[in-house]
């Protein structure tokens, strides 16, 4: 009887894991999008297209500054599904912070939040700062 219970438990675990893998495999993953300050909303709309095809919406997973001779360039990562509860990381240049904060506030309000809380973290370098935004 003990072996039968173990076998049944393993089979149930396999079915659950298999179901989760199928659910995750069916969920589209939007490509990361590059943008300049002021363009995040447009990149979000682009990222949302594959999510809407499966009945969902795009959520922001992070924003990072990209080193570029062309000036302020950022890369946003997205996923389809629910927004992360712990917020998302951001690396940025100080001169761009007000633009990014405004765009993130707009994003959070579009997701039903009042706004965004920002927590700064130790700087990545002398020119690149970092922190975390949480939609609240």
Reported as a single tens digit per residue, the pLDDT across 29-74 is: 889 999 999 999 999 999 999 999 888 899 999 999 998 888 899 9
Number of domains, the chain: 2
Distance of CA 67 to the CA centre of its chain: 20
The pTM of the full predicted model, rounded to 2 decimals, is 0.76
The C-alpha atoms of residue 65 and residue 88 are separated, in whole angstroms, by: 14
Do 54 and 69 have their domain in common? yes
Domain hosting 98: range is 31-135
Together in a domain, 19 and 44: no
The answer, yes or no, to whether residue 4 has pLDDT greater than 70, is no
Together in a domain, 46 and 103 = yes
Q: Is there a single domain that holds both residue 63 and residue 24? A: no
Of 119, 111, 73, the closest CA to residue 92 belongs to 73
Residue that is written with structure tokens 């682009």 in the block? 46
Least confident of 68-72, 81-85, 115-119, 127-131: 81-85
Same domain, 80 and 125: yes
Say if residue 86 is in the same domain as residue 73.
Answer: yes
Distance CA 136, CA 99 (A): 19
* Domain shared by 99 and 65, yes or no: yes
């Amino acid at each position: 009887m003990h072996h039968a219970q173990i076998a049944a438990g393993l089979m149930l675990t396999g079915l659950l894991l298999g179901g989760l893998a199928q659910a995750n495999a069916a969920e589209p993953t939007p490509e990361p999008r590059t943008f300049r300050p002021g363009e995040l909303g447009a990149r979000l709309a682009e990222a949302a297209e594959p999510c809407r095809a499966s009945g969902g919406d795009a959520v922001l997973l992070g924003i990072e500054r990209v080193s570029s001779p062309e000036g302020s360039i950022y890369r946003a990562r997205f996923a389809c599904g629910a927004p992360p509860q712990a917020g998302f990381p951001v690396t940025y240049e100080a001169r761009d912070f007000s633009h990014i904060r405004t765009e993130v506030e707009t994003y959070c309000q579009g997701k039903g939040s009042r706004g965004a809380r920002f927590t700064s973290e130790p700087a990545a370098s002398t020119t690149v700062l970092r922190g975390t935004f949480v939609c609240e």
